[in-house]
Structure 1
């Protein structure tokens, strides 16, 4: 029997406004959607705060033999003015570090500039395990700095392409030099900034390098560049991610669960790392038992209360990149018995949907659909395009950060909680602007998951996991 073809009717979509950011001005009207334009106009958010960064910010250095002067030159270059040579519709002029952030940069105290051994390149080239040779050289240099902790704020490490074979482990070994060194440095309380000679010192657009490095150094020194302007007071956002590492027994596995807490302004507070043994596995994904999730959430609550005069959040939104199992849901609710609303959201990165902006009949637009497009699929499911065309940061001109390709939306699936899905999409979109470790207008994922995933992969390499909270800047 031939059934009559009927058009499939979908609900209408909406395009959310680009979230606004607040900077260093006390005037509530002084906001901007462009992170760097806002810094130029109003200065960083923390410039007049009591706990602002030290002035000057002192830079420790670890460099290849004979290349300290190149690294010093890069730091001095941050005080100069630079014009953009790429992304000209988006990237503004860089006006110098002190002009933008209100503090200066200087070299650290005596003994905080270390050159690695002159024969390191030869040893790396000759070794069957170059990643171990390079990692040991860098950790030894950091060990030498641990007793000079009061003489610097951030350590900049210069890596040369000659050492490329040591950046990752061999096939079958998940060693990553960046994660390994960050884990060691974090255990010593040292903030580290890596620089690659080809992508930083030799990069053709000095304006781009200056913006990225300037924001990173200011943030790692304890500064807050910007926060969200339109926030729900009393809300807390928590991101959860896991990383597995082997135990002593052949079949023993531990899950490192990282939970980071953000307040209503989207400002990252601290994070807790919880080592859970005997985790349950569903497919390749670990899931926590009820009592394990309760411990993680209780520690997260303590961080929020410590930063908010003991007051608990009224509303909690928990993001996870896997679904919530029943035991995990129960553990979260156990931890927040007095909250007005708890929303548990699975942020799914791959959903199979695509969106094409049709300008006129049979005439697709030359750019992707607008960033902020949202499309509700059900009472607790929605698609959200966090990538897409964003004229607001390019003077009204079409601008697609990724440059090419058709963006895939995130699918938000709410496993618990009430309220309009549009509000949940709006908050998720805003949190994609809160990664202080780059100069882009947004990330694809909200910062709750961007940071939690990074933290979990780094923390699993820490030799000893202490049961206390960690400043996020140690792992950026």
Structure 2
């Protein structure tokens, strides 16, 4: 028995594409690409993007001022090795952003403040008031594209419920609005209005606003057009809920370029629980996969994908594997991959030794994209680590601290090398349009699944139609 592991390989940083026809409009850096080329869907998003508002009594002007600030330039005051200057919303996204008509700007009743302060359940008081305001705006749905909701710091007691309650104000409002296909953006005072680094705020809110209005900031540049990526996760309702405890919160379906942001959700009837993890029966998994591949066919003139890569955070049981294979029998290749975020492994980077000397620990962490095969079924992939070509200093390490840990990929079905599976996971880590980072620590199939799991379990009626993820961002 040997203690050695397989030699590692390195996958280059995936490029992003910023134009549907000009294939040379590519960049490693998402923000730099937007400034250089504009968004992928430039001239396809009807302008102006109209923003409706909900604010506390007397605070409407604060929200209007913030909206005006989105159109102003801001210099970089943090993350100088990555962040780009903000030139203004219309300069970045090549479409104007403006306030909706007067009837789409609401201030909450003044008595809400007193009711909030004296209530033993301030989160319920606050949530009910905001939901009534969203309902009021829903009647004017044709007059706006996105709702901004101002949440001041003095409402902090209403952000979450009591310890025994499963309540989160953000997720509660998202669930209500998403069920009605109304995109909302919470604008918190502490994270948006009073945060001192304005360029950071503008990039984050600007990207979210553009995507929620139906825009596509970027896609992946180097893809197999006949591959579909599917992410599966489960939401668990509180035991006090009268409805089914488990929900298959998604199968979310992504095109090869990472931009097919649709998913299906429904209550699962045949669920086995092992160590608090739900597993589907063969029939339930067949149902999930069949509806998922139908989403792909609907966008590709009835054609099935040649290859399907399915991600989930728990292992694939035999019944689940059988259900997947039955539903995806028309596909040439099917990879069922467990994505384990909390791997126990660590790695350090050793500089190449000079002749006759030992290697020395490097001044930078392991390179992002480093791949180590553990066996035919398992590999380690460093999603977090050193990246070249981003910073003028030569090396860029997102966050700038800690030793990056890899994710562990476990293949429960599929054949061949780890290269394609790892390349797709690394690329999908750059497809989260809801933040301004270079990448996420997980592929978007998993990071979006976490968001959906929190929100879906709070929806009273899941329905049968597919959802667009932009309503849940």
For residues 25 and 439 of structure 1, what CA distance do their matches in structure 2 show?
A: 22
1:131–1:168: 8 Å Cα contact kept in structure 2?
A: yes
Match of 1:467 in 2: 464
Q: Secondary structure at the match of 1:378?
A: coil
| 2:438 is the counterpart of 1:446 | no
Match of 2:12 in 1: 17
For residues 59 and 385 of structure 1, what CA distance do their matches in structure 2 show?
A: 39
Match of 2:34 in 1: 39
1:255–1:286: 8 Å Cα contact kept in structure 2?
A: no
For residues 234 and 187 of structure 2, what CA distance do their matches in structure 1 show?
A: 27
Deviation at 1:339, TM superposition (A): 0.4
| 2:432 is the counterpart of 1:435 | yes
Q: Secondary structure at the match of 1:260?
A: strand
Deviation at 1:311, TM superposition (A): 0.9
1:254–1:278: 8 Å Cα contact kept in structure 2?
A: no
Q: Which moved more, 1:224-233 or 1:239-248?
A: 239-248
Match of 1:322 in 2: 314
For residues 247 and 374 of structure 1, what CA distance do their matches in structure 2 show?
A: 41
Q: Which moved more, 1:157-166 or 1:248-257?
A: 248-257
For residues 283 and 96 of structure 1, what CA distance do their matches in structure 2 show?
A: 50
Change (3 A) 1:21 1:110: same
Match of 1:182 in 2: 174
Match of 2:103 in 1: 111
Q: Secondary structure at the match of 1:393?
A: coil
For residues 55 and 174 of structure 2, what CA distance do their matches in structure 1 show?
A: 16
Gaps of at least 5 residues in structure 2 are none
2:286–2:324: 8 Å Cα contact kept in structure 1?
A: yes
Gaps of at least 5 residues in structure 1 are 1-5
| 2:415 is the counterpart of 1:412 | no
1:246–1:254: 8 Å Cα contact kept in structure 2?
A: no
| 2:10 is the counterpart of 1:8 | no
2:234–2:278: 8 Å Cα contact kept in structure 1?
A: yes
For residues 417 and 118 of structure 1, what CA distance do their matches in structure 2 show?
A: 60
Q: Secondary structure at the match of 2:290?
A: helix
Deviation at 1:145, TM superposition (A): 0.8
| Superposed CA offset, 1:397-456 (max 9, x none) | 322212211111100000001221022111100000000000000000100111122112
**C-alpha RMSD of the superposition:** 1.7
For residues 249 and 21 of structure 1, what CA distance do their matches in structure 2 show?
A: 43
Deviation at 1:31, TM superposition (A): 0.7
Deviation at 1:159, TM superposition (A): 0.6
| Superposed CA offset, 1:125-182 (max 9, x none) | 2211111111111101101111100010000111111111110111121211111000
Q: Secondary structure at the match of 1:334?
A: helix
**How many residues in Structure 1 have an aligned counterpart in Structure 2?**
468
Q: Secondary structure at the match of 1:223?
A: coil
Q: Matches of residues 3-402 of structure 1 in structure 2 within 5 Å?
A: 8-24=3-19, 26-48=21-43, 52-245=44-237, 253-359=245-351, 361=358, 363-402=360-399
Deviation at 1:7, TM superposition (A): 6.9
Deviation at 1:333, TM superposition (A): 0.9
Deviation at 1:101, TM superposition (A): 0.8
For residues 371 and 414 of structure 1, what CA distance do their matches in structure 2 show?
A: 21
| Superposed CA offset, 1:314-353 (max 9, x none) | 1000000000011111111111111000000000011200
Q: Which moved more, 1:103-112 or 1:147-156?
A: 103-112
Match of 1:3 in 2: none
For residues 110 and 310 of structure 1, what CA distance do their matches in structure 2 show?
A: 44
| Superposed CA offset, 1:289-323 (max 9, x none) | 11111111111111111111111111000000000
| Superposed CA offset, 1:44-73 (max 9, x none) | 11114xxx2220000011111111111111
1:246–1:252: 8 Å Cα contact kept in structure 2?
A: no
Deviation at 1:185, TM superposition (A): 0.4
- With structure 2 as the length reference, what TM-score do the two structures score? 0.96
Q: Secondary structure at the match of 2:297?
A: helix
